[in-house]
Amino acid sequence: IQPQPGDRLCPVTKTRASNECSWIIAGMTYYFCCPPCIDEFVKQARANTTPLPPPDSFIKKAGRAESTLPFEK
């Protein structure tokens, strides 16, 4: 499913996130496409000292590239 402008994006896959698949990290709610992405996101976040971008940075913008995690290559 291709995300449309304004859709929440899974921080791991950059596909449309599900409202039923969320996780609270440091008091902020992040949305994911599936439970395995939660595990991957938490694993990567623990392995990196760079602060996580806010959840609002994972929203599809019109004509703009999606945010990437600071620890992604």
3-state secondary structure string, 49-70? CCCCCCHHHCECCCCCCCCCCC
Q: Is pLDDT larger for residue 64 or for residue 5?
A: 5
Q: 9-64, pLDDT tens digit by residue?
A: 999 999 999 999 999 988 999 999 999 999 999 999 899 888 899 999 999 988 75
pLDDT band at residue 2 under the 50/70/90 scheme = confident
| pLDDT attached to residue 48 | 87
